[in-house]
Amino acid sequence: QDLHAWVLSHAMVPVVGTMGARTGVTSVEAAPPPAAARGVGLTPRLFRELVGKREAHIAALPAAYVPVIRQHVESVAPSKQVMAQNYVPVVVEGEDGMRRVLHVDPLAVRQFRRTVAEELRCVREKRRRMMRRMKALRQELPTARDQDVAPALECEIAVAEARAGEPLLQPLPVGTRSLHVLVEATPCMVQLSLVCEHLIRELPVVLAAAGCRRLSLLALGVGSSQACEGPAALPSVHGAELQEALKWLQQLAAAAQAAKPPAGATAGQAGAKESTLLASSFRLAPALRRAAAAGSQEGSTAAVLLLACSPPDDLDASLAAIQDGGLALQAVGVFGLASEDPEPALQALASRASRESSLYLFFGSEYWTKFAGVRRRQLERLRRRMEAERQAYGPEREGEDGDVTSPKVFELRLVERAVRECYVQEQSCEQELTCASRVLDR
């Protein structure tokens, strides 16, 4: 404590005529620094906790002061203690924009981190209690009436039937002179044959509408031996004519059809297929760099059509490549067997690309046909049950029950609001803990 008081007294008030004379400190430089307004790399709460307490930090000294303090600090027995090694440096900024360094006591940072960790534990426990209450309330709520469920099923069937014939491609930006088609050809891409069929039908119309003259096609796959034998082994085509590109797509569809496992596959073959799906991945950044380089050499507007069902392995490198190249990206997320949702990665790529970029999700006609069939069977069972209830109770009883809103619905809404607040508090605590840990790592 005596040593700490000595450091504070000598750090804040230099001796006039001795230390000030040797270092050339003027009256302006010896004036107390302005109050800090914010911390660089610190959250507002951590900044208030460290800078608001006078005993938690020491102002950093000019270089000429360090040898004088160090010879006293190092002489503490039984072991040598150096302030620069034990105290944590942080940068603060005043209202005038001037920055300075403070040495913060690591005990204050650890106490702050312990307090936030306890708050995080309490918030998570509160959220778990709220989730259990929500589950109990949902079980106590009355079941949905058949009269309300039937219109919803009819609407879903109509939407599915309308989307069964949706196109794969969207219109290209006007003025596109070259298009680079990148198709994922990993085992997760189970609709590769359907994608090729759509490309064969829709590419000529889309290219003619945009006035595109050059076309390049590439199948993206893993570097394993299995992938080299499948659709990903098909050589790429650069600057091809339309007929050559359509022929390449037909070959890709045939290779994808041949790579499908037989209908009566054994358990061993199914396990091998599952392990292959888990190891399926592809790299996108090299293809994006080649597309950007080709566009810059030609001096024309280049667009990239990416069709994938899984996120690329090199997402960070792909983001850098597409931002540096200034490409227009049309990303199409295809429904497949990938374990990770590709939509966040594709959305990040589309957001980083040029203004004409877009993201589109494609499920395929087979998916929507099966979905509509399942919903249609549910609707038929529902109508039969409704008809049986109408015959049992009569038309005069219809609509009598269930007209009053249950009070548990309002309680459920209040609990849901409390859960959302818990999520916000949990994220804030995690951010505070991350910031405090980074400060201690210094």
Looking at domain 167-260+269-363, its CATH class is: alpha beta
Longest Cα pair distance anywhere in the chain, in angstroms?
Answer: 107
Mean confidence (pLDDT) of the chain: 78
55: Cβ contacts below 8 Å, ≥ 6 apart:
105
Q: Give pLDDT, residue 395.
A: 59
Residue span(s) of the chain under CATH 3.40.50.410 come to: 167-260+269-363
> What is the pLDDT tens value at each position of the chain, 442 positions in all?
555 554 444 444 333 333 333 344 443 444 555 677 788 888 888 888 888 777 667 676 555 455 544 444 444 444 454 554 567 888 888 888 888 888 888 888 899 999 999 999 999 999 999 999 999 988 888 777 788 889 999 999 999 999 999 999 999 888 788 889 999 988 889 999 999 999 999 999 998 888 888 888 999 884 433 334 455 556 666 666 788 888 888 888 888 888 776 555 544 454 445 444 444 678 999 999 888 888 777 766 678 999 999 999 989 999 988 887 678 899 999 999 888 899 999 999 999 888 888 999 999 999 999 999 999 999 999 999 888 888 887 655 555 555 566 788 889 899 999 999 999 999 999 999 999 998 888 7
CA distance 280 to 303: 26
* pTM more than 0.75: no
Residue 417, judged by CB atoms within 10 A of its CB (0-12, 13-18, 19+), counts as: exposed
Helices (H) and strands (E) in the chain, counts: 16, 10
If DSSP states are collapsed to H, E and C, what string results for 227-292? HHHCHHHCCCEEEECHHHHHHHHHHHHHHHHHHCCCCCCCHHHHHHHHHHHHCCCCCCHHHHHHHH
Closest among 139, 249, 146 to 199, alpha carbons compared: 249
